[in-house]
Structure 1
Amino acid sequence: MKFRRFWPLKRGPVVPVVRLSGVIGSMPGRNGLTLAAVEAMLAQAFAHKSTDTVAILVNSPGGSPVQSALIGEKIRLLAERKKKRVLAFAEDVAASGGYWLLCAGDEMFAHRCSLIGSIGVISAGFGFTEAIAKLGIERRIRARGERKALLDPFRPQSPQDLELLDEIQADIHHAFIEHVRARRGGRLTGDDSEIFSGRVWSGARAQALGLVDTLGTPEAVLRARFGDELRLRAYGRRRSWLQRRLGMAGLGGELLDLAEERLAFARFGL
């Protein structure tokens, strides 16, 4: 009896791809990009041994500076431990905390029409002092600590509150600036007053300012480096067992998440 010999099919290199998409941060019972939500998939992607590269795709208008920093630090920690090179790609928008995440890349890419930057800090809210007065509502609050009721929307803003808020924002803005400087080094070519003003640029202008290295899409860049036999392995967030069991019961929360995220992207005309 003759046996036919089968040669194994050639298989191209595999590059893990992690997509970080959405508003950064979360409130109780709400979805969002947090370290807790993405830590497992980051660990899986960096554990892949086919190549020495991990691709990170960022599509975020920003959010929590703390979660932005935690996720970015986790990416760098895994890259150093696993000796991986990180290629970070901006999709529609990598602004504010989204740009913080993009800076986790050893090389940073954008589409020429991506929105990049917004290196600043913002705080927004509403005041209801006149509204509750017209409704005949009396505001009652008791607190220990003269600054405990900071920026209470049901009382007029005080100069002391605004001064404290300015101080907090200045500290966060300084940390953001130092992070960008540390990651981009001498590649920044624009004036500090321009780059750190909080504005956004198209991908093409961001490249001219040194905010990103190259214009290009993930597949084009990766295939140019690894060949046409390249395979991409996507890693994404998964819903928990409880979320899957709840099914339609969680629809209200998901719609609220979607509305909040839509408003955040709308700030950039998306």
Structure 2
Amino acid sequence: MSLRKYFLTPLTLIFTSLFLHHCIFASFPSFGGPRPNFEEKIISGKDKDKILVIPIEGVISDESRDTSFFGSSVESPVARIKETLKFAEKDPDIKGVLLKINSPGGTVTASDIIYQEILRFKARKNIPVYSAFMDTAASGAYYIAMSSDVIGAHPTTVTGSVGVIMQGFNFREGMEKLGIKDQSVTSGANKAIGSPFTEQTPEQKKILQSIIDNLFERFFQVVKKGRPGVSEAKLKELCDGRIFTADQAKKEGLIDFIGYFDDMQLHLMSHPNYTGEKRGNPRLIVYQRGSGRIDNIYLANEAGNRPSMLGGFEKLFSSSSSARFFYLWEL
């Protein structure tokens, strides 16, 4: 295979994605009509007291997600969680909250907003908030969990990945082989910082690293506040981006206990701020849109989201492809 053919395929995909990024696509209204309001779904229990489950799943961002080829979408995790907390604050029967977390993290700002919203909710409502880790609770998801009173994890959970990443590619050498040149015009030497079409200068690398370091310091301080039982020196050793199994995280003090969802509910009911009947059978509830049934906790997902029909193409042509900073664990 010639060098031209070798580089043509990936570059064709790159330029096709850039071209489509600026194209206009027809967006048809959802066939389901207006988005339904939140409905309270009872998962289990029968008493007056309630424990609210808030699912935090998938990549965390402040952008809505398309759920079909025809343009129907669901609100962003940030918007959904804020609305959920608003509903919960008005219900005096809610005695505790379980954050059901299954996420590799997400954008820096979205993770921080959700963290702050939960802290404010706790201050106003004064009820226990627990984190229940499922498969993955890494990076920005772990950041959010620092707002909770106690962290429980399933025995097979993977967590940690405390750190910041800015992802990007450089296509300059491939473009040169095809005779393609970047002719961007900028107002300053660092205006195109992070561009995939030019080589970074030492000064630009230094600038980007300073931003990464600053955002990491914020993350570190959040973890330090959320895990007061772990020394700062130990945290600096642990917060280098590494991931942990549930057993390892428990040993290092990054989580509080290991168990299954029923164990986490019972643990929450034993918290001093839980004012419900300690030996009762509270209703385990979730707020979701639509009329679908929820027969068990594992059917409680992010407002009944459906998978996107576009699959990987949604990511390829999304506006999220621009350079951003992430609290994210990604293989």
TM-score, with length taken from structure 1: 0.80
Which residue, 131, 147, 160 being the options, matches 1:104? 147
1:149-228 to 2 correspondence within 5 Å?
149-187=192-230, 191-223=234-266, 225=269, 226-227=278-279
C-alpha distance in structure 2 between counterparts of 1:201 and 1:12, whole Å:
38
Q: 1:79-135: per-residue Cα shift (whole Å, max 9, x none)?
A: 111112101111111111010011111111111211111111112211110111122
Which residue number in structure 2 is paired with residue 231 of structure 1?
283
**Can you list the C-alpha shifts for 1:32-68, whole angstroms capped at 9, x where unaligned?**
8542242112222343322421111111101111111
Cα deviation for residue 229 of structure 1 reads: 2.3
**1:1-270 alignment, distance < 5 Å:** 11=47, 13-26=49-62, 33-187=76-230, 191-223=234-266, 225=269, 226-227=278-279, 229-236=281-288, 251-252=309-310, 256=314, 267=330
Percent identity, please. Answer: 28
CA distance 1:51–1:42, shift in 2 (3 Å): closer
Aligned partners of 1:124 and 1:205: how far apart in 2?
Answer: 28
Superposition RMSD in Å: 3.1
Matched to 1:14, the amino acid is K
Deviation of 1:212 after TM superposition, in Å, equals 0.8
SS at match of 1:109: strand
- Mean Cα displacement is larger for which, 193-202 or 44-53? 44-53
Q: Which whole-Å deviations, capped at 9, do the CAs of 1:175-230 have from their partners, x for residues lacking one?
A: 00000111111245972342111101011110111111111223222146354723
Q: Distance in 2 between matches of 1:15 and 1:103?
A: 20
User: For the residues of structure 1 that align with 2:186 and 2:264, how far apart are their CA atoms?
Assistant: 57
Q: How far is the alpha carbon of 1:236 from its aligned partner?
A: 4.4
Structure 1 distance, partners of 2:317, 2:100, is 22
Amino acid at match of 2:201: S
Aligned AA for 1:13? D
Q: Give the secondary-structure state (helix, strand or coil) at the position aligned to 1:142.
A: coil
Q: Call closer, same or farther: CA 1:193–1:60 in 2, change over 3 Å.
A: same
- Contact persistence 1:46–1:54 (CA under 8 A): no
Tell me, yes or no, if the aligned pair for 2:106 and 2:140 is still in contact at 8 Å.
Answer: yes
Q: Tell me, yes or no, if the aligned pair for 1:75 and 1:104 is still in contact at 8 Å.
A: yes
CA distance 1:236–1:98, shift in 2 (3 Å): farther
Which one-letter code corresponds to 2:286 in the other structure?
A
CA distance in 1, matches of 2:242, 2:329: 15
Contact 1:35/1:71 (<8 A) preserved:
yes
> Which residue identity is paired with 1:235?
Y
The structural deviation recorded for 1:75 is 0.6
Amino acid at match of 2:155: R
Change (3 A) 1:80 1:203: same
Which of structures 1 and 2 has the larger relative contact order (alpha carbons within 8 angstroms, sep 6+)?
Answer: 2
Post-superposition offset of 1:13: 2.7
User: Which shifted more, 174-183 or 250-259?
Assistant: 250-259
Structure 1: distance between partners of 2:174 and 2:248: 44
Contact 1:223 1:230 in 2 (8 A): no
Larger deviation: 75-84 or 43-52? 43-52
Segments of 5+ residues of structure 2 without an aligned counterpart are 1-45, 67-73, 270-277, 291-305, 319-326
Distance 2:249 2:104 in 1: 16
Residues 229 and 52 from structure 1, CA distance in 2 versus in 1: closer, same or farther, beyond 3 angstroms? closer
